[in-house]
Amino acid sequence: MMRIIKTVKEMKAVSSRIRKEGRIIGFVPTMGALHEGHLSLIKEARRVSDVVAVSIFVNPTQFGPEEDYKGYPREPEGDRKQCKEAGVDLLFVPSVEEMYPHGFLTSVTVAGITDVLCGPLRPGHFRGVTTIVATLFHVMQPQKIFLGQKDYQQAVVIKRMVEDLNMAVEIVVLPTVRETDGLAMSSRNSHLSHRERQAASVLFRALQTAHDMISKGERRASGVKEEMRKMIRTETLVKVEYLSLCHPETLQEVEGISGTVVIALAAWVGKTRLIDNIIVTAP
């Protein structure tokens, strides 16, 4: 039986009891409109925890004033059904007032690694993410949390927060689940028109090309980025916001490629902003 919980008070009481019983809580935080990417996290949580807890909360503080908070896809019924079928034990679906009650004044900020990639383009975004994740940790009390590589920078930022603040939680990052043409699954893909959806697959092809170039010996980041831009330009519906070859932990831009690098991008496909990345180790 899946239990649906709406209040912090009840959620905390339930997670406290489970912890007292010595059982392992595996937690998957989401914003809902669930897809195979989310389900892969739930499946792994199911495999390695006693109790699987999922939260669905479209977190207003991680959206900028001009961003798609209102238009973000919401599918509460479909989500509930998918969670039930995936064997979720606890589904936490709080309201905004429940997570940010009147008088909420605190935020958690990770410096430095939030000043690159998506950081400057989405001011306040990562502060919103770390604040809600820290809050959810105290409510859900998980021993393990499951994140997707799709949001690479988000995972790095959350890892840093957990390390710096000595939070007692193990972070598991799982590979990006993709559509058959390579497009990374995302709740926002539902906003794409048929033509945009087709055009969007160029992003993964560009990442694959980058991977191939590095495998064949290319060691200049500029050469890789130039080739990627050239490819993406062939799709007039797709506009690159940034392209980066960066260090997997510091997220600092690299010029010469050696060891492992992350190739990360953000692009607009029509009015929809998509991100994707791959991790490449130079031979």
Judged by CB under 6 A, the residue of 116, 162, 177, 202 near ligand AMP is: 177
Judged by CB under 6 A, the residue of 51, 140, 147, 224 near ligand AMP is: 147
Terminal Cα-to-Cα distance of the chain (whole angstroms)? 49
Judged by CB under 6 A, the residue of 55, 131, 176, 189 near ligand AMP is: 176
Q: Which value, in Å, is the radius of gyration of the alpha carbons in the chain?
A: 19
Residue 150 lies near ligand AMP (rule: CB under 6 A) = yes
Q: Give the C-alpha separation, 16 to 81, whole Å.
A: 26
- Scanning residues 29 to 48, which ones bind ligand AMP (CB under 6 A)? 30-31, 37-38, 40-41
- For the four alpha carbons of 26, 137, 249 and 32, in that order, the dihedral sign comes to positive
Helices (H) and strands (E) in the chain, counts: 10, 9
Please enumerate in sequence order all residues whose Cβ is within 8 A of that of 258, keeping only pairs 6 or more positions apart, or say none.
219, 282
Please enumerate in sequence order all residues whose Cβ is within 8 A of that of 88, keeping only pairs 6 or more positions apart, or say none.
2, 42, 52, 53, 54
Give the residue among 71, 72, 188, 62 at the shortest CA–CA distance from 123: 62
- Closest CB to ligand AMP: residue number: 148
Closer CB to ligand AMP, 75 or 218, in the complex: 75
Cβ at position 44, least distance to ligand AMP in Å: 10
Cβ at position 169, least distance to ligand AMP in Å: 14
Residue 122 lies near ligand AMP (rule: CB under 6 A) = no
Please provide the DSSP assignment of 54-78 as one string. EEE---GGGS-TTSSTTTS---HHH
Residue 26 lies near ligand AMP (rule: CB under 6 A) = no
Total binding residues toward ligand AMP, as defined by CB under 6 A: 17
Closer CB to ligand AMP, 136 or 185, in the complex: 185
Q: Give the C-alpha separation, 257 to 216, whole Å.
A: 12
Cβ at position 88, least distance to ligand AMP in Å: 14
**Annotation marks residue 38 as catalytic:** yes
Judged by CB under 6 A, the residue of 53, 54, 119, 151 near ligand AMP is: 151
Give the residue among 204, 147, 139, 142 at the shortest CA–CA distance from 178: 204
Stretch that binds ligand AMP, among 78-86, 172-180, 216-224, 248-256 (CB under 6 A): 172-180
Cβ at position 226, least distance to ligand AMP in Å: 27
Closer CB to ligand AMP, 176 or 244, in the complex: 176
Closer CB to ligand AMP, 43 or 239, in the complex: 43
- Scanning residues 179 to 198, which ones bind ligand AMP (CB under 6 A)? 184-187
Judged by CB under 6 A, the residue of 53, 83, 148, 161 near ligand AMP is: 148
Q: Give the C-alpha separation, 57 to 77, whole Å.
A: 14
Residue 119 Rama label (left phi>0; alpha psi -120 to 50; beta): alpha
**Active-site position among 38, 191, 211, 247:** 38
Instruction: Determine the residue type at 176.
Output: T
- Please report, as ranges, the residues that interact with ligand AMP according to CB under 6 A: 30-31, 37-38, 40-41, 147-148, 150-151, 174, 176-177, 184-187
Active-site residue numbers? Answer: 38
